[in-house]
Structure formats: C-alpha cells, structure tokens
Structure 1
Amino acid sequence: MAGPNSLYGPLDPAPDAGYVDAPPRMGFFTDTSVCIGCKACEVACKEWNLVPDDGFNLLGTSYDNTGGLTANSWRHVAFIEQPAARSGHGTDTPGAFAGMPTGPSASAHTAVVAAGTAQDTGTSPGVPAAPDALAAAATIKAPGTGTQFLGMPGSDLPGRTMDAPRSDFRWLMMSNVCKHCTHAGCLDVCPTGALFRTEFGTVVVQEDVCNGCGYCIPACPYGVIDQRKDDGRAWKCTLCYDRIGDGLTPACAKACPTESIQFGELDELRARAAHRLEKLHEQGVEEARLYGHDPDDGVGGDGAFFLLLDEPEVYGLPPDPVVTTRDLPAMWKRAGVAALAMAATIVVSFAGRRR
C-alpha cells in the first residue's frame, strides 16, 4: 500500500499512526456468495470476546434474530429475502433471480463440509470428487436445479426434503462487521484515546478508557459502533486483536464452515477477491461486485470488505461512504480565518474610536 500523500489520501494506517516496522495490514474478506447463514461467526464472536447474549426476540419476518450490529452483536448475519425476478429483469428464466450465480466454485474444505452435511442429513448435494485439492475446485449442485449456492432457496436445504424446489424467493446472506476503516472518523473524534489504531491497521476500543461520550457513534459512516445500556460505553469488533497478536485466526473466521469469512494480509485478500469476482463474472454473475476494497473511496478503503451479489443498499450498506471528519481541516481553516478577520475588525474599531 502506498504511503501517506495527503490528510485523507491513500496511506498505510499503522505506520501513519506511528508504528515503526509495522507488520502487514490484516483484515477480513467476506464472500457473501458462499454464506449459508449458519451464524457460527456470531456465536464464536460472542464466546471468545465474552459478548453478552442478545437477539432472543425474533423479529417475526426473518431468521435474522439480531437485526443489526450492536454493542452486544459484533457480527451480524443478515437474511435478505428477494422475490423471483420478473421477465425482462435480470433474466427470463422461470424461477430465476437477478444476479443468481449458476456455478460458483468452492474450496476443497467447503466440499468436505458439504459432503459431511449430506452424509449427516441424508441429503445429496452432488459434491463432485476433487482428487487434487489445489488443482480441482469442487462445485455444489442441487438435485434437479443445476449448480447452486450452499443452502440457497431454489433447492432443498440440508436436513429438509421437499417435493419441489423453492423458487419464489432467494436469500442473500451476509455476515456484517466493523469495517476497520483506513480513515476512521471514530478515531478522529474520540476525546479520551479509548479508540486506537493497532499495529495491524485495525481499530480497537479500550473499554476501560471509554467515558461513554458517544461521539464515535455518529462519526461512523456505517453505523457500526453502539453503546451498552447498562454502562454507556462504546463496543464493537476488535478483529480479535488478542488472537491475531498471537498469530491466531479471529474467532469468526475460524468458525466459518464455508470460508465465507477469510482472514489474512489485506493486500493478499484484495487480490484473492479480485480473482473471485472475475470468476463469478465469467459464470455470468454480472451483479457480483466488491464493496470496501478500493483505497480511493471515501474512507480510504476498508480493512473488512465484501463481495456482494446486489447493490450495497440491499444489504443496508451506504453506497458511497465518506469519512465523517473529512471536512474538519477545511472547517478549522475557515474558522481560523474568520477568527482572525473578527479580531482585525475589533482592533480597527477600537483604533477608530481612539482617534
């Protein structure tokens, strides 16, 4: 990544924060095209970080029981239901959906998981043999419907048998999390230093330093940070700072059975994501796009970015996020000029009276 060239230009955040010989920037790449909505990431996050329970009140309209990122939900698996595409919208194939992939590749690890699921539940996703894990990628197929994503409606879900495939809607599933922005507005406004940049380029809240002022909450362009009702302090994902400092994988990525959540060096993840996007486009999935990967966007790129199968707004994400403190330097400059002009006016006024 490029070094700093302006206040809000491309930079490597750890060296910019003063770390000498900082390790490579680490982050998340979440491939929503292989997310099955199992919520293993939510559970693992809570267990490792001792996050209080939350989300027992079902929303009534979806399997999404947490509803969004909160102080007690640092990972949120969203379930977005979409109706079948109409003729002329995306595709004319009966029962098909706009942007619905027809043949995503899965890693050998994912194939093993799928095969195990089929054996345990008695279903048959039709996982092909992959003699060489590095050379042959497995694809997941649903009986009678062609190649599909794991667990996506349009085929029988693991553990459930149906007379006919569901084709009236599809689920878009996404495990959302703090973006660990390159230019983090929450860092700019925190008056106590409770929020700090780590040597891995991530952003962490020190709960014992947070005074509960809440300035960071409106400063986040993604609406990630939240306060707990009982103590008022701010809480969010730490990207398992304690784990990665010991060379371990964050709990959510470790628990993800389909490798939807991938952890690693950010530059490598970006290259991997670009390759995955290219493959999906080759398969005709024109709706697929990357979100938060561009270092030239309004927040300098995210440390946690996503592959989406629809517009960002569908997932509740802002289409063009901008660091909320972007205009502060210009504002302070104008305020300084205004103050000088006011002082000069006062001096001239007093000077005129004395004469």
Structure 2
Amino acid sequence: MSEERVGFFTDTSVCIGCKACEVACKEWNAIPEDGLSLTGMSYDNTQELGASTWRHVAFIEQAAPQGRTQLPLIEGDSGGGTGSDVRWLMSSDVCKHCTHAACLDVCPTGSLFRTEFGTVVVQEDICNGCGYCVPACPYGVIEQRPHDGRAFKCTMCYDRLGAGQEPACAKACPTRSIQFGPLDELRERAALRVDELHEAGVDEARLYGHDPADGVGGDGAFFLLLDRPEVYGLPPDPVVTTRDLPAMWKHAAGAALALVGGVAVSFAVAGRRPR
C-alpha cells in the first residue's frame, strides 16, 4: 500500500434508517435495482448484502431492555420515545474489507485485489464466475449475480478514493452514522464514542471489528453496536476461513512425497527380484 489505510466507522447509535447510503451507493456505482417488493421484514426491503446490495440498512425491532438508558429517537426526545416497550436498532452494513481477506486467498484469476488504500476490490472484467470467494467470506458478503455468474461487492468507491473524494454512502449520510477516514483515526474516535455512551448510561454500546487481534486481523469497516453482534446478523467471532490452508498444503505435500517414495521403493524392489 502506498497510501494510508482508510475505512468506515459506522455508529449505529445515530443511524435513522433513512437509506440514503443505499441509494447513493446504487446511484454512484450503477448497481441494478432490487428490493422493490415487500419482504415482511419491517421496513427492510433488501434484507441482506448481495451482488446488487452493497450497502444494506437493517431494521431490527426488539423489546426495549428494562432498566437501561435508551437513546433518544429524535432530537428533543427524552429517550423514552412514544412510551412503547419496543425499540429499533438500525445499522448500515457493508463489506468489511478484512485485513486478512480469505476472498483474496482463493481467487484464481486475480480479480480480487487489495488497493493502495487497503481496501479489497473485485475487478468484474477479470472475474470468471468460479464463485470460490462466496463461501470464503466469513461475513457472507460476496454474491454472484444471477444470469451473470460474476461476483460483486462494495469497492469503498475506489474510483472516488483515487480522485480524493469520500465514498458516496458516507457523503450522503445525514447523521454521520457512516464515517470515513484513516483507519487509525477512526478507531480512536470510535473508542471515545463508546466511552461517551457508557458515561451516558448506555452500557450495551460496544465496538465490533475494530480489533487488529481478532480472527480476521481487524476490519476496514467496523461498527459501534447497541447489542450483541448476532442481533445484527453478524458472526460473534469471525475468522479468516483460509487460516488452515498453509498447514493443509504442508500435510498434502508430505503425503505426496510419501506416496512418491513408496512407489519408488516398490519399483526398486520389483526390479531386484530374480526372473
């Protein structure tokens, strides 16, 4: 990487579910329309990340935790909203741009590559549609388009980064729930935000994907959550799915050498037998 690594910090505590990020992402990247039918999943018309949904705003409706400080729903609200026992958790999900990206390990064509900004991008004109990257992703982000076969996902607006601009989703976010910048700075800002929420009595606030010591080496897109990761559809302890490949290749090589050695010995013994 020749540039400073950049990323996303998504503060779900201030997400209002407006979907401006989804729309901006689609418009800038010319992504095909989807989510035009009712899903039965509250206001969530896209349901999950996919080949045509690079930003997905989740609407999670749950019983409000009893005895805990609730965040205001709108400016001026005391925190209790309308007095309902139900609260909304809203979060804009995206590709995590992992430090140790398994999708890069399994791509046979070099279609997936790490940019000078530390992000992970799919080159659609090189993708051969093998689909190896789909099960390799620990977050289930990558998907192949029907009737096409090629894989697609968030590029963190690589073309905009090259022009010195921020990604379209962060630019469009009206509450700064999606923040873009140097990854180290974002991690510091996120830690301060968690401390601020804890001091305000929001004890369940926590960071997800920020730790370089986690199973994927830390994410280039990490989150402040108000509940357990599973509630948001995120794996609690993601690991790079190709972590065992070196050991597997080593064992395979050892087995192959043993087989070749056994065959050689068999031929040698057979050659010495009297005829």
**C-alpha distance in structure 1 between counterparts of 2:83 and 2:139, whole Å:** 33
Equivalent residue in structure 2 for 1:240, among 151, 157, 163: 157
Equivalent residue in structure 1 for 2:117, among 191, 197, 200: 200
* Runs of 4+ off more than 6 Å: none
- State the Cα distance separating 1:350 from its structure 2 match: 2.2
**SS across alignment from 1:141:** coil
Find out whether 1:49 has 2:49 as its counterpart. no
Find out whether 1:72 has 2:52 as its counterpart. yes
Other-structure match for 1:325: 242
**SS across alignment from 2:113:** strand
- State the Cα distance separating 1:166 from its structure 2 match: 4.1
Amino acid at match of 1:69: L
- State the Cα distance separating 1:280 from its structure 2 match: 1.0
Q: How is 1:184-263 mapped onto 2 (pairs within 5 angstroms)?
A: 184-263=101-180
**C-alpha distance in structure 1 between counterparts of 2:237 and 2:91, whole Å:** 19
Amino acid at match of 1:76: H
**C-alpha distance in structure 2 between counterparts of 1:170 and 1:82, whole Å:** 6
Equivalent residue in structure 2 for 1:81, among 58, 61, 72: 61
Other-structure match for 2:11: 31
Equivalent residue in structure 2 for 1:179, among 96, 118, 122: 96
Find out whether 1:278 has 2:191 as its counterpart. no
TM-score, normalization by structure 1: 0.74
TM-score, normalization by structure 2: 0.95
**C-alpha distance in structure 2 between counterparts of 1:44 and 1:61, whole Å:** 22
Other-structure match for 2:262: 345
**SS across alignment from 2:260:** helix
- State the Cα distance separating 1:141 from its structure 2 match: 2.5
Q: Is the 8 A contact 2:41 2:47 kept in 1?
A: no
Q: Which runs of 5+ in 1 are unaligned?
A: 1-13, 15-21, 86-90, 93-97, 105-124, 126-139, 149-153, 156-164
Q: Is the 8 A contact 1:103 1:283 kept in 2?
A: no
Other-structure match for 1:136: none
Q: Is the 8 A contact 1:101 1:283 kept in 2?
A: no
**SS across alignment from 2:121:** strand
**C-alpha distance in structure 2 between counterparts of 1:61 and 1:43, whole Å:** 19
Q: How is 1:138-177 mapped onto 2 (pairs within 5 angstroms)?
A: 140-142=75-77, 146=78, 148=79, 154-155=80-81, 165-177=82-94
**C-alpha distance in structure 1 between counterparts of 2:83 and 2:200, whole Å:** 22
- Cα–Cα, structure 1 residues 335 and 290, in superposed 2: closer, same or farther, change >3 Å? same
- State the Cα distance separating 1:283 from its structure 2 match: 1.5
Q: How is 1:76-115 mapped onto 2 (pairs within 5 angstroms)?
A: 76-85=56-65, 91-92=66-67, 100-102=69-71
Q: Which runs of 5+ in 2 are unaligned?
A: none
Equivalent residue in structure 2 for 1:291, among 187, 208, 223: 208
Q: For residues 138-184 of structure 1, what are the alpha-carbon distances to aligned partners after superposition, in whole Å with 9 as ceiling and x for unaligned?
A: xx321xxx2x3xxxxx42xxxxxxxxx14131110000000000111
**C-alpha distance in structure 2 between counterparts of 1:303 and 1:61, whole Å:** 28
**C-alpha distance in structure 1 between counterparts of 2:239 and 2:109, whole Å:** 23
Q: Is the 8 A contact 2:10 2:178 kept in 1?
A: yes
- State the Cα distance separating 1:220 from its structure 2 match: 0.4
Superposed CA RMSD in Å reads 1.5
Q: Is the 8 A contact 1:101 1:280 kept in 2?
A: no
**Residue identity (%):** 72
**SS across alignment from 1:196:** strand
Amino acid at match of 1:78: A
